[in-house]
Amino acid sequence: MATPRTTGNPSARTTVKRSPHRGHYERETLDAILDASFVCHVGFIHDGAPYVIPSIHARVGDTLYFHGSPASRMMRHMKEGDEVSVAVTLIDSIVVARSAFNSSLGYRSAFVIGKARPVEDPEERVVAFAAITNAVLPGRWDEARTVTRNEDKGTMLVAVPIEEYSAKIRGSEVDDEEADYELPIWAGAIPLRTVAADPEPDPRLAEGIELPGSVERFVATRA
């Protein structure tokens, strides 16, 4: 795998134009956002119509991977090697301003444009399968049953190079009109975070099977 770049040169398509001061083009910033979420939205044009489909994703070095059924509209499009856009958004807070107009969200978002390619090399497919599995639940790949031949044949894995990209970040600060600061209206931010509840065992789980390390660690870090 190629070594991730640490700086970016935004293209005309990825340069942040609205609130440009919130644009970020460092690879460390982009990677942190991509890695903090395991759900992305993939945009593409198919038969002249625009589509946006959610998918589980994982980053390995300079490559984004996601997967799906070979029969799906999105995956049929990927076989053609056309460009796609991939977006990830993390909501960190609700920004409560004194006016409805200036109320907003604190967020981190990442945007990647690139040509999709089917992953066909057997070794790379294992890398992609493991990365996607561990993106959701770190360490789970080594605990679970391996992918069978039929499961492998029935799954299309796609790779998108991380070459054309940008990130955009808005903090939790209130940005009111100067005259509004004198109004007797509460303003501030409501921080948001994702938490994990207690694991619920499968009703058909055999007796004596302990909670696996991946699940235990995940819940402990998101309690």
52 DSSP β-pair partners: 43
Give me the pLDDT at residue 169, please.
97
Q: Which residue in 162, 167, 164, 163 sits closest to 19, CA to CA?
A: 167
Specify whether the CB–CB gap between 176 and 96 falls below 8 A. no
Per-domain residue ranges for the chain?
Answer: 20-194
Give me the pLDDT at residue 47, please.
85
Per-10-residue mean pLDDT, the chain, length 223: 52 92 95 96 91 96 93 77 93 98 98 95 97 97 96 94 96 96 98 96 96 97 89
Give me the pLDDT at residue 6, please.
44
Task: Please give the CATH number for the structural domain made up of 20-194.
Answer: 2.30.110.10
Give me the pLDDT at residue 8, please.
65
Q: Which residue in 34, 131, 50, 44 sits closest to 88, CA to CA?
A: 34
Report helix, strand or coil for 179. Answer: helix
The stretches of the chain forming alpha helices (DSSP H) are: 27-36, 73-78, 122-136, 149-153, 213-221
Give me the pLDDT at residue 2, please.
38
